[in-house]
Amino acid sequence: MANIMDYLDWRGDLSFEAAEFNEVDNLILAQLVYVDFTGIVPEPGCGEGITLKEASARFFQTHEESEILARVSMTKMAAFLMQKMAQTRRFADILLSDYVNDISDEEQSQFSVVCITLEDDSHYISFCGTDNTIVGWREDFNMGYLTATPGQRKAVDYLNRVIAKKQGNFRVGGHSKGGNLAVYASVNCEPELKQRILKVFSNDGPGVSRETLESEAYQEMLPKIVAILPESSVVGMLLEHEEKCKIVRSLKNGIGQHDAMSWEVLGTQFVYAGHLAEQSILLDQTMKAWLGQLTREEREQIVETMFGMLEEAQIETVDDFYHSRWKTVQEFMKAKSKLPEETQKVFTKAMKLLWSEGRKTLLKNTPLHAVLENPTQS
C-alpha cells in the first residue's frame, strides 16, 4: 500500500497549475512544520521567505541522518519527507516564511507554525502538532480544562497578523494538536479576514471545547472545516466535534495510526474506510463518560499532578521517558508518595473512575454470549 512518500513519486512532477491542490497536499504541508527550521526560515518581519529546496539543503548541512533516525518521535520522518519534496517540480520552489518556534515552560506552551506560499500566490498556514517535549504534551492535556490555551491564543494572533499583511487566499491546517490550532484560530480570527480562508484542515486533531462548538463563529466556519481521521483514531476523538469526518485507512494499528506517514494514499486522495474502528468509538465513549464525572478543578489537579511527577523525575522529552523507562517508573512512585494526601485522593479517584467507565463501556458493547463465555468480564 502507498503513502504520502509514494504520492511524491506519482504526482511530484505536476505543478499546482496542472493539478490543483488536494487533501493529500494538505497532509504533506501539515507534516512539513515538524522540521525544526530555526535559523533557516525567516521569522515574521525578517524577510520574504526561502524556497523549500534551499531550506532542505541548509537543514541537512547541520543534521545527520543517523541523528534524526535516533529520535523516538513518530514525526521524525518529516525531515526526509522535506528532502523528497525538494526534488519535485510540485514542491521544490514553494516559499517558506514567518516561521515561529516558541517553547515556554512558564506558559506550558509549545507553539510552532510556518507560512507556505504556493506558485499561485495562495498560502497554507501549517500549525505544528505536539513535538517530543513534555511541555507540548502537557499543553494537550491542558485543553481538557482551559477555555483557551496559550498556544491557541498565539495561533489566533499569528493568523490575524499573517493574513492581514499578505495578498491572496489561505488554507489553514495542521496535524494532531496543529489541527486543533488551525480550527481554533480560523474560528476566532478577525471577521473581515475569514472570507480569505478557503479551507481549514484538521488531520487527526482534537476537537474543540463545548463553548467553542456552540459559538456563532464556529458555526459560520463549519462548512470550511475538513476533519480527516484514521480508522483507529485516538487523538482525533478527543474533545468535541461537529464537522463531518473523513475516515482513512492506515498501514499501522492502534495509536500508531496517528502517524500520518501511515495513511494510505491512492492517486490524489486517501483510501477511505467506511467508518471508525470499534475500539476508537469505545475509547471515545469511555473518555467522555470519565471526564464528565470530574469537575474542571479536578481535571486541572490531575494534569498538574501527573506532569509535576514527570518534572520531579527530570523527564523533559519523550526520548527521556523512552530511554529511562524503569527509572521513570521508580521516580514516579517516589513523587506520588510525596504528594499531599488530598491530591493523592483526587488522583486515585480519577484512576478508579477511568477503570470503572472503561469496564462499563466494554460490557455495554459486548454481546451477552461473549460475557457468558468469558466469566472474567463479569
Strand partners, 104: 109
Residues sharing a CB contact under 8 Å with residue 281, sequence separation 6 or more, in sequence order: none
SS3 371: helix
pLDDT of residue 140: 67
DSSP 254-276: GGGGG-GGGB-EETTEEPBPSS-
Q: Which of 30, 227, 241, 224 is nearest to 116 (CA)?
A: 30
Calculate the dihedral angle through the C-alpha atoms of 194, 118, 46, 193, rounding to the nearest 10 degrees: -10
Of the pLDDT bands very low, low, confident and very high (cuts 50, 70, 90), residue 176 is very high
CA distances from 306 to 227, 316, 326, 346, 347 (A): 30, 13, 17, 12, 9
Banded model confidence at residue 370, pLDDT cuts 50, 70, 90: very low
Strand order in the sheet with 95-104: 50-51, 95-104, 109-117, 123-127, 170-175, 197-203, 225-230, 245-248
Q: Note the pLDDT tens digit of each residue in 243-293.
A: 989 999 999 988 788 899 999 999 999 999 989 988 888 777 776 777 677
Whether residue 74 has pLDDT greater than 60: yes
User: What percentage of the chain has pLDDT greater than the value 70?
Assistant: 78
| 187, three cell numbers | 474560528
> pLDDT grade, residue 325 (50/70/90)?
low
Q: Where in the chain is the domain with CATH 3.40.50?
A: 4-276
Highest mean pLDDT among 85-94, 319-328, 338-347, 351-360 belongs to 85-94
Which ranges in the chain belong to alpha helices (H)?
4-11, 23-32, 52-62, 65-69, 78-85, 134-142, 150-165, 177-188, 191-194, 210-213, 216-221, 278-292, 296-312, 318-323, 325-337, 341-364, 368-373
Q: Residue 270 pairs with which residues in a beta bridge?
A: 265
Query: How much is the pTM?
Result: 0.83
Q: How far apart are CA 286 and CA 321, in angstroms?
A: 26
Find the Cα–Cα–Cα–Cα dihedral 280, 285, 289, 295, rounded to 10°: 50
Strands 245-248 and 225-230: parallel
Distances, alpha carbon 374 to alpha carbons 361, 371, 377, 378, in Å: 16, 5, 6, 8
Q: Is the pLDDT of residue 374 over 70?
A: no
**Rounded distance between C-alpha atoms, residue 254 and residue 75, angstroms:** 16
pLDDT of 238-256, one tens digit each? 878 899 899 999 999 887 8
> pLDDT tens digits, residue range 127-167?
999 755 666 566 666 777 777 888 999 999 999 999 999 99
Fold for domain 4-276? Rossmann fold (3.40.50)
Q: Mark residue 233 as left, alpha or beta (left: phi above 0; alpha: psi -120 to 50; beta: remaining).
A: beta
Which segment, 265-274, 345-354, 357-366, is predicted with the most confidence on average? 265-274
At residue 321, the pLDDT reads 58
